[in-house]
Amino acid sequence: MIRSTGGVRSADPRRGGWLAALGTLWTTSESSAATIRDSMPVDLYLSAFASLDSHELAALALTLGVVLFAVVTSIMLVRMRQRAAAADAESRRDIDSLTAEVDRVNALLLSEPQIVVAWAAGSDEPDITGDVTIVTQATMPQRVLAFGSWLPADQAQLIEASVATLREQGEGFAMTLTTLGGKSVEAEGRAIGGRAVMRLRDVSGLKGELLALTLRHDRLVGDMMALRTLIDALPFPVWARDHEGRLDFVNAAYAGAVETRDPTEAVERNLELLDKSARDEAARMRQDGSPYRGRVPAVIAGARRMFDVVEVPTPAGSAAVGIDATEIETIRAEMTRMVEAHRRTLDQLATGVAIFGADHTLRFHNEAYRALWDLDVSYLDHGPTDSAILDRLRAARKLPEQQDFRIWKSQLHEAYRNLEAREELWHLPDGRTLRVVTTPNTEGGVTYLFDDVTERLDLERRYDALIRVQGETLDNLAEAVAVFASDGRLRLHNPAFQQMWKLPEEALAERPHIEAVIAWCAPLQAEDQTLRSLRTAVTSIGQRDAIKGRLERRDGSVVDLATLPLPDGATLVTFQDVTDTVNVERALRERNEALETADQIKIDFLHHVSYELRSPLTNIIGFAHFLGDPATGPLTDRQSEYLGYITVSTNALLALINDILDLATIDAGAMTLNLGPVDICKTMEGAAEGIRDRLVKDNITLEIKAEPADIGTFSADERRIRQVLFNLLSNAVGFSPKNGMVRLRAERHDDSIAFSVTDEGPGIPPEMKDRIFDWFESHPLGSQHRGAGLGLSIVRSFVQLHGGAVDIESAVGQGTTVTCTFPIRPPTQQQIAAA
């Protein structure tokens, strides 16, 4: 449409030509448009466009755009139709080809008995193709997936799990199944094109046989691998050889025994475990087709061990195993030693032991069993039966008398069928009593234990009698006796205990505690240190010492208390009324004190008198000596005789006074020893010189002997030693009969010198030996000897002052031997002063 501003304008011939041309273009087709474009003059186009204004040009451009769009669209539509027709033709050809392919595949699938089950992704409905009668008689194809209806339970569970894994994870599987009808079916599953596909194929006939052989092969291979794994895990060496005798297989234990890293290295290096002699013997047996068995040594890790080797021939060579028997040998040797030790131990028992096997034959007996029944060793070594031994003992009248021996023996033999031990007493005809224990053995035999309890029963009877006697004795004792248990309670008491402390019987029957007993005794005895010590002694757990004490009761009586800890933790307490004894003791003590005072007065008097007499006596001796001197003047025979008597008497009196003074000095502790080397032989001769005249007078022989002859010296006070020997010799001569003999001997020991003087006098009665060393104890004992009784007192004092000892051996009518023993090392002055 053309818009105008003034009235209607007339048509321009050029505008009419353009409109005509436009109409022609609008109405023509694509082919006529091309013809018009080719035949229309260019000038006409140019003139037409030149006559157009801007609005017309815009309309023209728009019109041309629309026309061009329609032309292009028409061209594209035509071409698309052509391509669609070609694609449709190609699709039809592909469909025909695929249809033919599907037909061929179906024909191939149905060419053999099989079933194909396919599951699309995300779908539970399967596509089942094939002959379902292979596995089931049902007409419904879905019954194929009911595996439990045509497969055993274990195989059904296996294939169900495999199908589930295939559908969920796309993991394939392959297995061979056997239906309930006995058919072999091969099941294979895999993921194809996003679908899970399972194929079930009947493998009957040749394929079935091949499959069976394959299964058998696989099973054999599995068994072989299992056996190899098992053999490799065995702790003892296992090996196999080929026909040439070279190693073909070894396990890990063999490799470890020959010290290699692994079995392969042991096979490659052909390392042998056994020595050459054992291998040669095994090879010889292998050539003969016989198995080799033997116990051979082998060195493993530097240690020699024993192996039980078994090698058997095989079609491929041989196979062998070596079992370490070292521990078995050690255990067997140990068991042998243990059995022998048990046998030796049982032989040392006083209890008779006999072990019978399940066949009732004797397997073992000890010496006590043989001695108990006095049976021959040879007879027992032949293994007699239990019944035969009982018959033999019955014939010898060594078994208890029985009314029916067969019933008794059958009851005894029930031990072979019992489960528990049984014990009984046999009273034998010879008076013995045996405790017999029959114990069933685990292997079916019986062990008999025969214990002679005759002495034990006798001891029990005597013990019971002794207990009764002790009970009666305890009840009739004058002493009060009480036994308190470890918990402090009264366990036992006698009537004297109850009567002494005036305690009620009913209270004591309730086993009161020591605290209550002490409280009940308060009216007679107030609690003091002694009763507190008694309480401690009864109730103490750690320190259990015996105590003694004296109780002075309120009623004036005196009671001695003593405790004694008993082995079972109890405490024995005794109370003894010593009132009379204490009274007598007090009287005797007072009398003794009076006697001691009198004796001390006597000794002091003697000391004083001795000192006072010594000075005038010394003057008398001196004047007598002057009178006897020829220079003083001649004396008549009677005067000389009287002067001799005076001299002898004064010398004896002086010796007595010196002895008293020595004893007084020793008692006062003022005596000192002048220690020095003492010639033993010379001292003995010097002491003997003092009694020569008395020996001649009574015709007494003096024998002096030193052992050894060169006895030598020792350290002592020579003057006191000579004085001791002189007093002993003087005493021996005084008690010796005329024509008798006195022996003076000296013996040197390791640490002492012993002087002994022996006489043939009347001997000393036993009751006088304890008083023989007291002062002024002088007894003639039927001899002519008279003395002051100070000689032996001085002897003992001087010997003890030297640290020695005096011993007297005497029997009435057999003489006396006095032995003085001096230490080789004398005591020091401090020790002497302390003594």
Phi, psi at 677, each rounded to 5°: -70, 135
In the three-class reduction of DSSP (H, G, I as helix; E, B as strand; rest coil), residue 276 is classed as helix
- At position 478, the amino acid (one-letter code) is A
- Tell me what pLDDT residue 431 has: 86
Cβ atoms of residues 353 and 368 within 8 Å: yes
pLDDT reported for residue 755: 92
Q: Residue 579's CB: how many other CB atoms inside 10 A?
A: 14
pLDDT, residue 624, reads: 73
Cα 372 off chain centre by: 37
Token code pair at residue 230: 């098992």
pTM over 0.85: no
Exposure of 52 by Cβ count < 10 A (0-12 exposed, 13-18 middle, 19+ buried)?
middle
β-bridge pairing 571-577 and 558-565 = antiparallel
Alpha carbons 538 and 569: distance in angstroms, whole number: 9
Helix axis angle for 42-50 and 13-27, nearest 10°, is 120
What is the per-residue pLDDT for 829? 56
- Within its chain, how far is the Cα of 631 from the centroid? 105
Which of 340, 398, 326 is closest to 369 using CA atoms?
A: 398
Q: Residue 1: what pLDDT?
A: 36
Q: Which residues contact 542 (CB under 8 A, 6 or more apart)?
A: none
Contact residues for 372 (Cβ-Cβ < 8 A; gap 6+): 352, 434, 450, 452
The arrangement of strands across the sheet holding 195-202 comes to: 126-130, 114-119, 195-202, 184-192, 173-178
132 with 143: CB under 8 angstroms? yes
Q: What are the φ and ψ backbone dihedral angles of 774, each rounded to 5 degrees?
A: -75, 160
Torsions phi, psi of 195, nearest 5? -120, 145
Q: What is the spatial distance between Cα 695 and Cα 742, in angstroms, rounded to a whole number?
A: 9
The residues, any chain, with a CB within 8 Å of residue 138's CB and separated by 6 or more, are: 132, 149
Cβ contact 687:725 at 8 Å:
yes
HEC-encoded secondary structure of 551-576 = EECCCCCEEEEEEEECCCCCEEEEEE
Count of Cβ atoms closer than 10 Å to residue 517 Cβ: 25
Say which DSSP state 737 is in. Answer: P
6-41 exposure pattern, b = at least 16 Cβ within 10 A, e = fewer? eeeeeeeeebebbeebeeebeeeeeeebeeeeeeee
Say what the pLDDT of residue 788 is. 47
Measuring CA to CA, which residue among 392, 402, 393 is closest to residue 424? 402
End-to-end CA distance of the chain: 177
Alpha-carbon span 263 to 268, nearest angstrom: 9
Helix (H, G, I), strand (E, B) or coil at 734: helix
Task: Give the pLDDT of residue 822.
Answer: 92
Euclidean distance between CA atoms 519 and 513, whole angstroms: 10
On the question of a cis peptide bond just before residue 313, with omega within 30 degrees of 0, the verdict is no
Element (H, E) at 247: strand 247-250
Beta strands in 315-366 (DSSP E): 317-324, 352-356, 362-365
C-alpha 327: how far from chain center: 23
For 32, 34, 60, the CA distances from 41, given in Å and listed in that order, are: 16, 13, 19
| Location of structure tokens 């035949």 | 39
Which element (helix H / strand E) includes 643?
helix 637-667
Angle between helices 30-39 and 54-109 (to 10 degrees): 140
What's the rounded Cα separation, in Å, for the pair 147 and 832?
123
Question: Which residue matches tokens 């009314």?
Answer: 403
**Collapsed DSSP state (helix, strand, coil) of residue 424:** strand
Alpha carbon distance 726, 820 (integer Å): 13
Question: How much is the pLDDT for 2?
Answer: 34
Handedness of CA 634, 638, 641, 643 (dihedral sign): negative
Q: Which residue's entry shows tokens 């004694």?
A: 564
Residues 255, 260: Cα–Cα separation, whole Å: 5
DSSP run (H or E) holding 795: helix 791-801
Token duo for residue 192: 């194809």
Q: Taking the chain (835 residues) in consecutive chunks of 10 residues, what is each chunk's mean pLDDT? A: 36 43 43 47 60 77 87 89 87 85 70 80 81 76 83 88 88 85 84 85 68 77 82 84 86 85 86 84 84 85 82 87 82 80 79 89 88 88 89 89 88 87 89 89 87 87 85 81 88 86 86 88 85 85 82 86 87 88 84 77 62 68 73 75 72 63 60 82 86 82 85 87 85 84 90 90 76 60 52 80 87 86 75 54
Q: Radius of gyration over alpha carbons of the chain, in Å?
A: 71
